[in-house]
Amino acid sequence: MLAQIQGLISTISLLDILDILIVAVVLYKLYVMIKDTRALALLKGLIVLLIITLVSRWLGLNVIYWLMQKTMTVVLVALPVVFQPELRRTLEHLGRGKLFGKNALLNQEETESLITEIANAAAVLAKNKIGALIVLERGTGLNDYSDSGIQVDGLVSQEFLINMFIPNTPLHDGAAIIRGNRVLAAGCLLPLTDDHSLNKELGTRHRAAIGVTEQTDAIVIVVSEETGIISVAKSGRLVRYLDTEELIQTLRPLFTNRPSPLSDFLNWRQSQ
């Protein structure tokens, strides 16, 4: 057995290793791009279908295997349609040389600055009863929604956010999506919640804020145009009547207490 392993290793050349590394890096980058959209859930569904197909074949469940074969054929034909936004985005990134770009993570000081700028902007907007919808991206990527708006890529500041939502300006209608400490896009369309039990006084902004937080882990700050009330939506729930300090206190733990998968693994190992 050992001799066979040694013989196999001896047949591997440097070009083979380089080939494997290149494929691994490309697959990882493609995963990162898919992770930034809802397409990841669709990919998981395809994997489940594939597992069911293999298991049914192994167990000799001929009817189920035949059905899964036909289903997989239909799914494979539909893939270009289902993943059309992701395929287009991948080709665009290749053309711009951004496939291997990095997504910067914020440190504690940058996070505090981001929260303060957003809270101060919300306070000014609320005082002047200027409606606003600010979406903060967290773990789930929001590219599907940012593509519906106008691409901005500007550094977040109190003045910038206020100017974006001034009435009768090109960017005021729709949501501003923030990734890290930069405004990714503005004027974005968000899905409305299907919850019919909500208070009738909640308008489209509040329903869009709840809708996107039902589908993602984003945090949404809403400023009512009618009342000037500041609200925060998270996980399909809405917290209203916040002042500047309460908004900061609400946002801070949501961005400073996000353990990474590595820290989760280390904590799990220590508990064993």
Q: Is the pLDDT of residue 104 over 70?
A: no
Q: Is the pLDDT of residue 36 over 70?
A: no
**CA 227 vs CA 64, 128, 222, 223: distances in Å:** 57, 10, 11, 8
182 neighbors 154 (Cβ within 8 angstroms): yes
**Radius of gyration, alpha carbons of the chain:** 23
- Tell me the average pLDDT of the chain: 80
Digit-coded pLDDT (tens) for 220-257: 999 999 999 999 999 888 999 999 999 999 998 887 65
Tell me the CATH architecture of domain 108-256.
3-Layer(aba) Sandwich (3.40)
Enter the tokens of residue 159.
């003045």
Enter the tokens of residue 141.
């990527």
Share of the chain above pLDDT 70, in %: 78
Digit-coded pLDDT (tens) for 42-54: 777 778 888 888 8
Q: Is the pLDDT of residue 268 over 80?
A: no
In the numeric block, the tokens 């050349």 are attached to: 13
Q: Residues 102, 140, 89, CA angle at the centre, nearest 5°? A: 55
Out of 92-106, 125-139, 153-167, pick the least confident. 92-106
Digit-coded pLDDT (tens) for 154-180: 999 999 999 999 998 888 889 999 998
- Residue 53 bridge partners (DSSP): none
In the numeric block, the tokens 């994997």 are attached to: 47
Q: Is the pLDDT of residue 119 over 80?
A: yes
Out of 21-30, 87-96, 199-208, 222-231, pick the least confident. 87-96
49 neighbors 106 (Cβ within 8 angstroms): no
Q: Where are the domains of the chain?
A: 13-96, 108-256
Question: Ramachandran region of residue 153, left (φ > 0), alpha (ψ -120 to 50) or beta?
Answer: left
pLDDT range class, residue 219, cuts 50, 70, 90: very high
142 neighbors 216 (Cβ within 8 angstroms): yes
pLDDT at 101: 46
Q: Is the pLDDT of residue 262 over 80?
A: no
Phi, psi angles (nearest 5°) of residue 183: -80, 115
Q: Is the pLDDT of residue 265 over 50?
A: no
Q: Once rounded to an integer, what is the mean pLDDT over residues 191-196? A: 84
Q: Once rounded to an integer, what is the mean pLDDT over residues 20-31? A: 80
